[in-house]
A = this chain, B = another copy of it.
Amino acid sequence: MSEVNIMDNEVDIVIGALQSDLTSFMNEWRPVFIRYHLIIVKDPDLKEELQIPEGFNLDVYSKSDIDRVVGSSKSILFSGFSCRYFGYLVSRKKYIISIDDDCVPARDDKGILVDAAAEHISNLATPATPYFFNTLYDPYREGADFVRGYPFSLRSGVTCALSCGLWLNLADFDAPTQALKPGQRNSRYVDAVMTVPARAFMPMSGINIAFDREAVGPALFPALRLAGEGKLRWETMEDIWSGMCVKVVCDHLGLGVKTGLPYVWRKDRGNAVETLKKEWEGVKQMEEVVPFFQSVRMPQTATTAEQCVVEMATRVKEQLGSVDTGFTRAAEAMIEWLKLWKAVGSSSSVPGV
């Protein structure tokens, strides 16, 4: 593929609001957000009214909207961090950028404010190279190229469908790591973007991502819900699970996943030691999740993300269902998501809500 041109009006920025006062969050992001249409989804568990400063082009969705659109669905809950997925459902744009509401713009290694949206869009607009590893990182960045030995036939790359950004300050560690190293903060700004190779899996963090909604939106869902799921990132796994699914889809459909830039600055939030009192359910589940996704294969008949999700849900139920009922529920939620995606008309670009 060659580079594509992504227009501002092809992008929705989706924010899941877990806190009611978004004033400082929105104001800090103003220079970045001002160019795009925003979808703000209020956590249905949040009682207080949202406070949003003026001057943005945005739509706000709350519990009543979710109830109206999703109706009687019991398999999927759009509460907590999962509320953002409602935004993915009602968006009609080709691309989505989503950033947690406890993050603000980061500064790069030269002290310049990072335009996270522009960097995500650049990742999605240039090809990914999943079939051979380029040691000088993303060959499409300015000043970079393919190194000696890189096959010319692979240099055109494939469409990038998912861009995973990172975090300065409070990194996305799990609860045990956070509790063991309460003072640890990430201060290393690594100026690199790279393609995650085909068949390699990464733990996708939903904190700071962008994706091609038309291509892989059907695989970005809040399917795996922990029994003790809370309102802190380290108490959730829905994004990690969805990231494994979307990587299977990308590998099967010949799409690419990039990771690295942009960084966001993640503010301190929550008490990891408190979280440790809960069960480490997510940590245990990954021991089953990773081997499953590493070995699952899609049939050649699956040619869309929707079809891949159907196939995966079947295999999850068959192979993981006996291990943990949470996986059975995840499989049901995946199928439910596809029904919603169709019912809401998410695959079309004509508003269906």
Question: In the assembled complex, how far is the CB of residue A206 from the closest CB belonging to chain B, in whole angstroms?
Answer: 10
A189 cross-chain contacts in B, Cβ below 8 A: 191
Partner of A173, one of B147, B152, B243: B147
A282 cross-chain contacts in B, Cβ below 8 A: 149
Partner of A143, one of B137, B177, B186: B186
Question: In the assembled complex, how far is the CB of residue A112 from the closest CB belonging to chain B, in whole angstroms?
Answer: 14
Known: A191-B188, A202-B133. A145 touches B196 (CB 8 A): no
Contact with B along A281-319 (1 / 0, CB 8 A): 011001101100010000000000000000000000000
B149 A203 Cβ-Cβ under 8 A = yes
Query: In chain A, residues 144-164, which have Cβ atoms closer than 8 Å to a Cβ of chain B?
Result: 144-154, 164
Interface on chain A toward B: helix, strand, loop, or mixed SS?
loop
Known: A172-B147, A190-B191. A153 touches B197 (CB 8 A): no
| Interface size counted on chain A using CB atoms at 8 A | 60
Contact with B along A186-214 (1 / 0, CB 8 A): 11111110101111111111000000000
Partner of A171, one of B136, B196, B286: B136
Partner-contacting stretch, out of A11-19, A35-43, A233-241, A345-353: A233-241
Partner of A201, one of B109, B132, B164, B287: B132
Partner of A188, one of B144, B152, B188, B201: B144
Answer yes or no: A73 CB below 8 A from chain B CBs.
Answer: no
Known: A143-B184, A145-B184, A197-B197. A135 touches B283 (CB 8 A): no
Question: In the assembled complex, how far is the CB of residue A119 from the closest CB belonging to chain B, in whole angstroms?
Answer: 15
A287 B148 Cβ-Cβ under 8 A = no
B287 A151 Cβ-Cβ under 8 A = yes
A240 B148 Cβ-Cβ under 8 A = yes
Answer yes or no: A115 CB below 8 A from chain B CBs.
Answer: no
B153 A240 Cβ-Cβ under 8 A = no
Answer yes or no: A65 CB below 8 A from chain B CBs.
Answer: no
Partner of A132, one of B153, B190, B259, B290: B290
Query: In chain A, residues 130-144, which have Cβ atoms closer than 8 Å to a Cβ of chain B?
Result: 131-137, 143-144
B148 A203 Cβ-Cβ under 8 A = yes
A172 cross-chain contacts in B, Cβ below 8 A: 147-148
Question: In the assembled complex, how far is the CB of residue A202 from the closest CB belonging to chain B, in whole angstroms?
Answer: 4
A135 B147 Cβ-Cβ under 8 A = no
A135 cross-chain contacts in B, Cβ below 8 A: 164, 166, 202-203, 205, 259
Known: A152-B287, A205-B148, A287-B153. A187 touches B143 (CB 8 A): yes
Q: 9 tightest A-B contacts by CB?
A: A149-B203, A197-B200, A149-B240, A133-B202, A148-B174, A190-B192, A151-B286, A151-B290, A148-B172
Could you pull out 8 A-B pairs where Cβ atoms are within 8 angstroms? Answer: A145-B173, A148-B174, A150-B286, A151-B289, A190-B192, A192-B192, A197-B199, A200-B200
